């Protein structure tokens, strides 16, 4: 049976929060035998302007979206506005009821708390929003210094690039660790950030 996965988009969404998981998951859809269908969804279908100016296309509006197996909610500056969007929050809550997995990247956790699926759960978020979400008192615990946290069918990840890690783990849960490793190899995701390394030449 095909797994249907929707990545939510909204104005001022953080680019890599959405595009990082998209790369992982679409690679799996297009280059492996995983029965996976990945789509982008927004309040209305059409173009979305991201936080840093990239423009993405939402394939479907929430009114036309099917029941998802997996919902992925990214974050970014726009999440501050969307926590006031009752129509979108109601859709997230309704979708979450029927999902196998409900996930977020970065401050997408704000939306999952506002909509309900993350309330009373252990979560993580972007490091700069940890204290904000702790102060809100809706989560059981807001962890910091971790890439992602699972609590039941809820999986929340830290900021920006952490969504790639979470998405690879998710593939392992949906299909197999072997498939997740195949995708990791395919996208050549073996992080070795240059400024965590010592590159200066020693003095002669």
Write out pLDDT tens, residues 147-164.
999 999 999 999 999 999
User: Catalytic: which of 68, 72, 92, 106?
Assistant: 106
Taking only the tens place, the pLDDT of each residue in 129-144 is: 999 999 999 999 999 9
**Is the pLDDT score of 204 beyond 80?**
no
Q: Do residues 60 and 41 make contact, with C-beta atoms less than 8 angstroms apart?
A: yes
Note if 99 is an active site residue.
no
Q: What are 36-87's pLDDT values in tens digits?
A: 999 999 999 999 999 999 999 999 999 999 999 999 999 999 999 999 999 9
pLDDT score for 199: 60
The full set of domains in the chain, from first to last, is: 3-189 (3.40.50.880)
């Amino acid at each position: 049976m095909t797994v249907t996965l929707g990545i939510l988009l909204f104005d001022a969404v953080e680019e890599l929060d959405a595009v990082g998981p998209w790369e992982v998951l679409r690679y799996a859809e297009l280059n492996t035998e995983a029965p996976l269908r990945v789509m982008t969804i927004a309040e209305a279908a059409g173009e979305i302007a991201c936080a840093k100016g990239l423009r993405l296309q939402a394939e479907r509006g929430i009114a036309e979206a099917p029941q998802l197996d997996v919902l992925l909610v990214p974050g970014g500056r726009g999440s501050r506005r969307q926590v006031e969007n009752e129509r979108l929050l109601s859709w997230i809550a309704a979708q979450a009821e029927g999902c196998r997995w409900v996930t977020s990247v970065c401050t997408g956790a704000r939306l999952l708390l506002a909509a309900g699926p993350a309330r009373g759960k252990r979560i993580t978020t972007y490091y700069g929003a940890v204290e904000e979400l702790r102060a809100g008192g809706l989560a059981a615990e807001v962890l910091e210094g971790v890439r992602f946290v699972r609590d039941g069918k809820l999986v929340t990840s830290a900021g920006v690039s952490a969504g790639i890690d979470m998405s690879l783990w998710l593939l392992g849960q949906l299909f197999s660790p072997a498939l997740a490793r195949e995708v990791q190899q395919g996208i050549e995701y073996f992080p070795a950030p240059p400024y965590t390394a010592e590159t200066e030449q020693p003095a002669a």
